[in-house]
Amino acid sequence: MIYCSISGFGQTGPYRLRGGFDLVAQGMSGLISCTGHPGGPATKVGVPISDLNAGVYAAYGILSAYIHRLKTGQGQRIDTSLFEGAIAYTFWESAIFFATGKVPEPMGSAHRLNAPYQVFRTKDSSLSVGAATQGTWELLCRAIGRPDLVADPRFRDNAARMERYQELAAILENVFQQDTTASWLTKLERAGVPAGPIYNLAEVYEDPHVRAREMVVELEHPVAGPVRHIGIPVKLSDTPGRITRPAPTLGQHTNEILEWLGLDTPAITRLRESGIVA
């Protein structure tokens, strides 16, 4: 048997009996300490990332154990937690701390290792710019009409730009605020500089690329009517996944599952009459 447990803090250690929530795991893992803007209030990651990552690691562990079982016939137990799932996502911040002893702090949307690599305000909204290499930095400077910045000794290489990333951000944002997001995105795409708009979720699901990649799927629910679902993010060439049924109503598949377990109709009826299942 392959048995997997996900808990707040795992099955061993001094915190094994504690209850756990995503917020608690984010706080204790260090994620909250390096999220948000410098000097701002403590801010969690916007999505329940420790919950989600614990689930991903559980699936990874189950598949690893299954491969082992196919080879050896032996099962095993998998033990993972929200706390460890959150710590695992501090890989860059932990690596910096291990190497330097310096505790990483919040940087807003800026990158810890590359500049410019962050969100900038424009004339009408905001956009993200990823000029993370020397080549893309030089392309960016030309695309925004500031080729002089390439030769500026303050920003001559990535190390220099990181030392002055806030000064550099102020210069670039002043430029970006002179035109609209759509105009800048056109110019940056033409120049080969990675960039993108800052979408809300309504805009995400209207994006033509999101629809082309089938990341929104609409199904008919027997009670709620048309219901949209997030699509499958991994595309397999030979065995592609498909979302074919909406979320079930309460008890919708009770009989089906009990029959699969080997119970006949009289046995299922007795369970229903006794209130054991519904």
Amino acid at 232: I
**Is 157 an active-site residue?**
no
Longest Cα–Cα distance of the chain, Å, equals 84
Residue of 22, 51, 238, 264 marked active site: 51
Query: CA–CA separation, 82 vs 88, rounded Å?
Result: 10
Q: Which two tokens stand for residue 42?
A: 């403590």
Alpha carbon distance 197, 199 (integer Å): 6
Provide the annotated active-site residues. Answer: 51
